[in-house]
Chain A
Amino acid sequence: MSVVRVTQPMLVASSLRNLQGGLNKYADLQEQLSTGKRVNRASDSPSDATGSMRTRVAISDQNHYVRNAENGIGWLGTVDTTLSSMADSTRRARELGLQGVSTGTSSVNSREALAVEVDQIRADLISQANTTYLGRPVFGGTTAGAAAFDTTTGAYLGDSGQVMRTVADGVQVRVDMPGTSVVGPDGASLFDDLTTLSTALRAGDETSMRTALSNLQGRLNDISTAQATVGASYKRLEQASQKGQDSVVALRTTLSDLEDADLPQTLMNLKMQEVAYQAALGATSKALQPSLIDFLR
Chain B
Amino acid sequence: MSGSFSSLNTALTALRYTSAALDVASNNIANVNTEGYTRRRVIAESIGAPSVPANWSIYDGVGGGVATNGVQRLSDDLLDARSRAEHGNQSYLDVRSTVLQRVESGIGEPGDSGVTAALGDFRAAWHDLANDPGGTATRQVVMSSAVALTDAIHAQASAIEAEQSTQRSHMNSAVSEVNAVAKQLADANRTIAASRLDGVDVSNLQDQRDKLAQRLAELTGGTATPRADGGLDVSVGGVGLVSGSTAKSLVVSSGINPDGTPDGNPLVLGISDGTTTTPVTGLTGEVGAISDLLTTTLPAYASGLDAVAKGLADTVNALHQSGYDLSGTAGGAFFSYSATGAAASLTLAITDTSKIAAAGTSGGTLDGSIADKLGASGTAESSYQQLVSGFGTEVASVKRRQTTQQLLTTQIDNARQQLSGVNLDEETVNMLSAQRAYEAAARVMTTVDSVLDTLINRTGVTR
A188 at the interface (CB under 8 A from B): no
B422 contacts A142, CB within 8 Å? no
B109 contacts A53, CB within 8 Å? yes
Which of A43, A49, A50 makes the CB contact (< 8 A) with B101? Answer: A43
Contact between A57 and B377, CB atoms less than 8 A apart: yes
Whether B432 contacts A7 by the Cβ 8 Å rule is: no
Interface residue ranges of A39-61 to B (CB < 8 Å): 39, 41-47, 49-50, 52-54, 56-57, 60-61
Chain A residues with Cβ below 8 Å from B381 are 53, 57
**Given contacts A1-B411, A53-B116, A143-B365, is CB(A292)–CB(B429) below 8 Å?**
yes
Question: A7 with B418: in contact, given A53-B110, A67-B131 (CB under 8 Å)?
Answer: yes
- Decide: B377 and A61 in contact? CB cutoff 8 A: yes
Q: Does B366 contact A (CB under 8 A)?
A: yes
Selected interface stretch from A133-141, A209-217, A225-233: A133-141
Verify if A63 is at the interface (C-beta below 8 Å from B). Answer: yes
With A41-B392, A50-B385 known to touch, is A64 a contact of B124 (CB < 8 Å)? yes
A-contact 0/1 string along B112-138, CB 8 Å cutoff: 000011011001100110111110000
Query: Beyond A9-B32, A13-B417, A293-B428, is A42–B365 a contact (Cβ under 8 Å)?
Result: no
Q: Which of B17-25, B197-205, B393-401 contacts A (4 or more CB under 8 A)?
A: B393-401
Are the C-beta atoms of B418 and A8 separated by less than 8 Å?
Answer: no
Q: Interface residues of B: mostly helix, strand, loop or mixed?
A: helix
A7 touches B421 (CB 8 A): yes
Contacts of A56 in B (CB 8 A): 110, 116-117, 120
- Among B158-166, B367-375, B440-448, the one that faces the other chain is B367-375
**In whole angstroms, how far apart are the Cα atoms of A131 and B183 in the complex?**
89
Contacts of A134 in B (CB 8 A): 132
The reply to whether A17 and B410 form a contact with Cβ atoms under 8 Å apart is: yes
Which residues of A have CB within 8 Å of B424?
7-8, 291-293
Q: Is B107 an interface residue, CB under 8 A from the partner? A: yes
Binds A, one of B170-178, B356-364, B454-462: B356-364
B105 interfacial contact with A, CB 8 Å? yes
Given contacts A141-B365, A296-B432, contact A7 B392 (CB under 8 A): no
- A42, A163, A296: the one contacting B392 at CB < 8 Å is A42
Known A17-B410, A67-B127, A161-B365; judge A42-B423 contact (CB<8 A). Answer: no
Question: Of A46, A141, A169, which contacts B396 at CB under 8 A?
Answer: A46
Contact-size category for B: 35 or more
> Contact between A13 and B413 (Cβ–Cβ < 8 Å)?
yes
Alpha-carbon gap, A3 to B346, bound state (A): 60
Whether, in the assembled complex, A259 has its beta carbon less than 8 Å from a beta carbon of chain B, the answer is yes
We find that the number of chain A residues with CB closer than 8 angstroms to chain B is 56
* B405 CB to nearest chain A CB (Å): 14
CB–CB A142/B428 < 8 A: no
> CB within 8 A of B130: which of A9, A17, A49, A166?
A166
B157 CB to nearest A CB, Å:
17
Q: Which of B119, B326, B381, B429 has the most CB of A within 10 A?
A: B381
Of all chain A residues, which has the CB nearest B128?
A: A67
A64 near B127: Cβ-Cβ < 8 Å: yes
Q: Are A292 and B428 in contact (CB under 8 A)?
A: yes
Contact check, A159 vs B130: say whether CB atoms are below 8 A apart. no
B369 near A164 with CB under 8 A, answer yes
Contact with A along B413-436 (1 / 0, CB 8 A): 110011101111100110010000
Q: How far is the CA of A3 from the CA of B421 in the complex (A)?
A: 13
Q: Does A161 lie within 8 Å of B361, measured CB to CB?
A: yes
CA distance A190 to B369 in the complex (A): 31
Residues A49 and B388 in contact in the complex (CB < 8 Å), given A42-B109, A56-B117, A60-B124: yes
Tell me which residues across on chain B come within 8 A of A162, comparing CB atoms: 367
Cα distance A135–B137 in the bound complex, in angstroms: 14
**Set of chain A residues within 8 Å of B413, measured between Cβ atoms:** 13
Does B349 lie at the interface of the complex (its beta carbon under 8 Å from any beta carbon of A)? no
What is the minimal beta-carbon distance from B110 to any residue of chain A, in angstroms?
Answer: 4
CB-CB < 8 A to A161: which residues of B? 361, 365-367
Which residues 56-93 in A have Cβ within 8 Å of B in the complex?
56-57, 60-61, 63-64, 67-68, 71
Q: Which chain A residues border B127 with CB–CB below 8 Å?
A: 64, 67-68, 166
B390 CB to closest chain A CB (Å) equals: 8
Q: B104 within 8 Å of A by Cβ?
A: yes
| A164: B residues at CB distance < 8 A | 368-369, 372
Mark out the residues of chain B between 372 and 386 whose CB falls within 8 Å of any chain A CB in the assembled complex: 372, 375-377, 381-382, 384-386
Q: Which of A1-58 contact B (CB under 8 A)?
A: 1, 3-10, 12-14, 17, 39, 41-47, 49-50, 52-54, 56-57
Interface residues of A in 104-152 (CB under 8 A from B): 134-136, 141-144
| CB <8 Å contact, A54 and B396 | no
Answer yes or no: A94 CB below 8 A from chain B CBs. no
Q: Is the CB of B131 within 8 A of A165?
A: yes
- With A41-B105, A67-B128 as known contacts, state yes or no: A9 contacts B421, CB within 8 Å: yes
Q: How far is the CA of A53 from the CA of B127 in the complex (A)?
A: 20
Tell me, yes or no, whether B69 is within 8 Å of chain A by CB.
no
- Chain B residues with CB under 8 Å of A163's CB are 367-368
Whole-angstrom CA separation of A181 from B459 in the bound complex: 153
* B265 within 8 A of partner (CB): no
Contacts of A67 in B (CB 8 A): 127-128, 131
Q: Please measure, in the bound complex, the distance between the C-alpha atom of A47 and the C-alpha atom of B396, giving whole angstroms.
A: 11
Contact between B134 and A144, CB atoms less than 8 A apart: yes
CA distance A236 to B250 in the complex (A): 73
A169 to chain B, nearest CB (A): 8
> Which residue of B392, B396, B429 has the most chain A CB atoms within 10 A of its CB atom?
B392
12 residue pairs bridging A and B, Cβ less than 8 Å apart: A5-B418, A7-B423, A46-B389, A53-B110, A53-B381, A57-B385, A60-B120, A142-B359, A142-B366, A159-B365, A163-B367, A292-B428
The residues of B with any CB-CB pair to A shorter than 8 Å are 32-33, 101, 104-105, 107, 109-110, 116-117, 119-120, 123-124, 127-128, 130-134, 326, 359, 361, 363-369, 372, 375-377, 381-382, 384-386, 388-396, 399, 410-411, 413-414, 417-419, 421-425, 428-429, 432
Beyond A47-B389, A57-B377, A166-B130, 10 additional pairs, beta carbon < 8 A: A7-B424, A42-B110, A43-B395, A50-B386, A50-B388, A142-B359, A142-B361, A144-B134, A164-B368, A292-B425
